[in-house]
Structure 1
């Protein structure tokens, strides 16, 4: 039997469906119109800017770093045009795949990839992140001809170069890639786009001057992400050029004299505190660090017992030995403990009352009767044992403190150490032990707890030469802002040491003169064919103590346990111009191993001075 149709019901259902469909279409149309209204009218400006942002980007322009010169305009650190391979994350769809392809083309290696991933977080996705520095011309040409990578570009840049390689490395320092610590030190706004900063030496000390000011550029990309136009909005401002007080010719001479040795030579201008020479050996090549040091070279530095990166001139702390005897003598004279005519008998040793131990003189046969000048010239230990005992450690400390021992000199190179000027309170705080009388004696000859750096010795010697004017040493001589004339930098501070009797200073200086010119002076070998007058003091500092009856025989000791050789001096005597300090580690006699080096450096200075006068 056929089913009876219900036409009215079917028509009603159909009508309802039609109405529901129309409502649904009207709702969708309303949503679409609302969305279009939102995009085209309400948020028109926002989306227009976003759209342009995909095409236009504003990026920072890293400034060219300032150059560093010596006092005569010889380049110490400069810049060289090079090319770098960069990757822009927002334009590179598959970064790991792209990096692998670049590696297969031998444009980058695993180290480059690791470095990229390590530093990628520093940059925003639209920045061109460096992948490889210092591409050679062949690599650049090959890439430009066959570049099929979207978001990978070649960009020119200036990289740091040190044309003298190892020379002056401890003064100039080096730049290297920025790390997280550097990011916290420097203003983020000023350093956007900067990849390298100063890590040591002058490069670090004057980073803000050398860096310059960043600029801005607007780049336009096409739909494939390739740059089609670049517009400079604000030019980057080159960093300030720095002129150092260092004399490169003298510096290289000093370095050659210390080649193969561990040691330091420092020369300062006694009139203004300028540092003419600051050498520390062994040295290393700062160019290794600019684009990342190789594992081989890094291990070579790290595993060296000689610690090439250690700046011995300001960080090396050594017993000053006999080089402080002039200062001790002056303290004794000024404090009234002795006079210029005071004499001591030196039998080759000194003994404290009721004490069995002997304090030996370097000359076991003794010096006989000596006065202040003789004791300086002949470096008689017994005279200074006796004087130190008369003074006591507190007066001895106070006398040497006037020459800034135990404190930093304030030189404008980072990393300086202060050394130790011991006292009763110092030992109590640092050793939690009482002070012994015998320790005063060895402090009087620059041994025991006392330590100082070569720079401290040079500055103290300059103060002696100046008869009490203590000058803060300075390495920066002048600076030149781009487009302006060079101007002198601020001088180091001057401090006058209190003088009770100028004759006391003259007595000590004459003792240093006799060191060079007296027939029994420890530096008498230097006076042959001298074309300038020289006052000096030799020194030999023990690395470890000997028993009273034990004899020092260098050949029986490990090389690093042998005595250090020292020399300090200034010239000319009548009108001091420069002061020098030399230390050669484990070399032995100061008169034989350190003093001749000082003369050769001073010869260069006075030879140049004579040429200038012509």
Structure 2
């Protein structure tokens, strides 16, 4: 009886368990069917795209950067095929270990690892991240023979090079690795995958033209991640080639003449505003920056008291000294304060009524009676003290403003300084002080608060040469999309300086002519052997002011407290072609230090004209 009852209980328990098992199997099967339905029907397209994404990737093709040439087709910046070491994060299981193994094998160093870790966050997992650039042939061969690093590859790329080393660096500029901030500034789609971007000069000014347009490629990989096929969906469009107006021969000559000095030389075509020479010294090597500057080179630049990276031609601010006198003379003639027959007696100093201070002339014994032409040729300070006082600061300011002083010229290069053209309003705003009469006098000889760039002086001198056409200076001459014809760039706009009497131009120009050819001209030594006619103006600008009784003795001063030497001029006089402005820092007299240098630069231009090598 007991055994029968146990069998019934066991059967009952077994049946209950089978029922629960069937219910569980049914539920599990239902869930599996729902999941399959969800994968295969509801979200089919999504998971298909994901699966293909593991197999197919679309990556950008970086375009070849445009080249830069001078006006005679000399190469200033170009590209060279090079190789870089890269790592793809999703292919590499232990990145830190792989990097250390690469270091132990001699392929990379600690700086490469540091740079990689810094940049890795900016890349997606499937992108190849550069570890080291510009590998030499030995390194490439060694890596390819012994490559045991999963996810590490050698990739070709175009490396930017500047074949002239430091020559023209302040014009051309340089490229270097693109920063996170710069990626946000430029078109994200077109700069996807970009490694380099222009940092200074033409490279920065015309970055988007030089960069070109990204292409697209699709790569297919197998389950192990190996690339088995690559297809170009959209080819990249190379950047434009740029032809600049500068003359490399004149550039190199100017740089040689300023070697070991701090200074600048600017030469401009007075007929259209094209810049033929724009030199700032000291120079530096732009190739240092392309793949990341070394600590040694960086420290060399940062610790130099000569500030090589300062583009003195467009950023350096200097008192113009006597080179401003032709413009001041024109103001006096235009305002009818003086005429071409007016004369002033120079005894060696000038005094304001009821003022003790003497305003000394550079010539202690004085110039005697001088008219406007004599005053320019002999650079008589007393004449211009008197003229400036009669004009007053407001008229002086307004007339100098016509020559674009105190404003940017608008040249197509980054970082230009506006300079300072002082006035009563300017001083009140910037110094919170009233304007004093004596400050008008020293402004009239290019001292005091007034500050200009060498480029501004060249543009203003060109405006005198062509009798009032004030051009916006330009560096870009022509452009070319690779494979197409060269297209001439638009010339710089210009405005006409309003002058009441055209003869006033002639009087000023004649004074500059006498600077070179007059028996007492401050640059009369230049006329020996000239094969072209030249008009000019010398200048010597004080770095600090002297009291009336103080004597300037250069040898007793620190080198950087000595006067700057300046020269401006244009040639030929009859049908002007070019104008020049030169500043040599802390070298003293303009007639002996700056003028001879200017002559040698101009000789290069006219020698080419004689040999019919102009474009």
Q: TM-score, normalised by structure 1?
A: 0.98
Contact 1:82 1:158 in 2 (8 A): yes
Separation of aligned partners in 2, 1:156 and 1:613: 39
CA distance in 2, matches of 1:30, 1:109: 58
The CA deviation at 1:29 is 2.1
| Residue of structure 1 in register with 2:212 after alignment | 212
What 5-or-longer segments of structure 2 have no aligned partner? none
More displaced stretch, 416-425 vs 44-53? 44-53
Counterparts of 2:457 and 2:226, CA distance in 1: 61
Q: What is the CA deviation profile of residues 287-308 of structure 1, one whole-angstrom value per residue up to 9, with x for unaligned ones?
A: 0000000011001101111000
Secondary structure of 1:612's match? Answer: coil
The aligned residue for residue 543 of structure 2 is 543
Q: Which moved more, 1:81-90 or 1:434-443?
A: 81-90
User: Whole-Å Cα distance in 2 between the matches of residues 209 and 428 of structure 1?
Assistant: 44
How big is the shift at 1:153? Answer: 1.4
The match for 1:603 is 603
Give the structure 2 partner of residue 439 of structure 1: 439
Distance 1:437 1:605 in 2: 44
Question: Residue 336 of structure 2 corresponds to which residue in structure 1?
Answer: 336
Match of 2:297 in 1: 297
1:471: which partner in 2?
471
Report the Cα distance in structure 2 between the residues aligned to 1:8 and 1:49, rounded to whole angstroms.
58
Give the TM-score, by structure 2 length. Answer: 0.98
**Could you tell me which residue of structure 2 aligns to residue 164 of structure 1?**
164
Q: CA shift at 1:503, angstroms?
A: 0.9
State the match for 1:9 in structure 2: 9
1:237 has 2:241 as partner: no
Aligned partner of residue 60 in structure 2, secondary structure: strand
Structure 1 runs, 4 residues or longer, greater than 4 Å off: 2-5
Residue deviations 1:165-197 (CA, integer Å, cap 9, x gap): 000000000000011221121010000010100
Name the counterpart of 1:33. Answer: 33
1:5, distance to aligned residue in structure 2 (A): 5.9
2: CA distance, partners of 1:6 / 1:347: 143
Distance 2:244 2:314 in 1: 17
- Give the whole-Å Cα distance in 2 for the aligned partners of 1:389 and 1:499: 22
Deviation readout 1:587-612 (Å, 9 max, x if unpaired) = 00000000000000000000000100
Distance 2:464 2:42 in 1: 81
What does residue 487 of structure 1 align with? 487
Distance in 1 (CA, whole Å) between partners of 2:499 and 2:385 is 24
1:456-483 CA-to-partner distances (Å, cap 9, x unmatched) read: 0000000000111111100000000122
Shift of 1:397: 0.5
With over 3 angstroms needed to count, the CA separation of the structure-2 counterparts of 1:146 and 1:41, relative to structure 1, is farther
Aligned runs of 1:46-445 on 2, under 5 Å? 46-445=46-445
TM-fit CA distance, 1:4: 9.5
Compute the displacement of 1:315 (Å).
Answer: 0.2
Relative distance call for 1:613 and 1:155 in structure 2 (3 A) is closer
Instruction: String of CA shifts for 1:403-456, please: whole Å, max 9, x gaps.
Output: 111011000000000100000000000000000000000000000000000000
Q: CA RMSD in A?
A: 1.3
Counterparts of 1:502 and 1:181, CA distance in 2:
53
**CA–CA distance in structure 2, aligned partners of residues 613 and 292 of structure 1:** 39
Task: Point out the more displaced range, 87-96 or 594-603.
Answer: 87-96
Tell me how far 1:55 sits from its aligned partner.
1.5
User: Across the two proteins, how many residue pairs are aligned to each other?
Assistant: 613
Q: Name stretches of at least 5 consecutive residues in structure 1 with no aligned partner.
A: none
- Mapped to 2, the partners of 1:514 and 1:237 lie a distance apart of 56
Give the drift of 1:51.
1.6
CA-CA distance at 1:42 after TM superposition: 2.9
User: Post-superposition shift, 1:98?
Assistant: 1.5
- Deviation (angstroms), 1:260: 0.3
* CA positional deviation for 1:3: 9.5
> Displacement, 1:221?
1.6
Does 144-153 or 483-492 show the bigger shift? 144-153
* Residues 301-325 of structure 1: per-residue CA shift (max 9 Å, x gap): 0111100000000000000000010
Q: Per-residue displacement from partner, 1:222-274 (whole Å, max 9, x unpaired)?
A: 22222222111111000000000000000000000000000000000000000
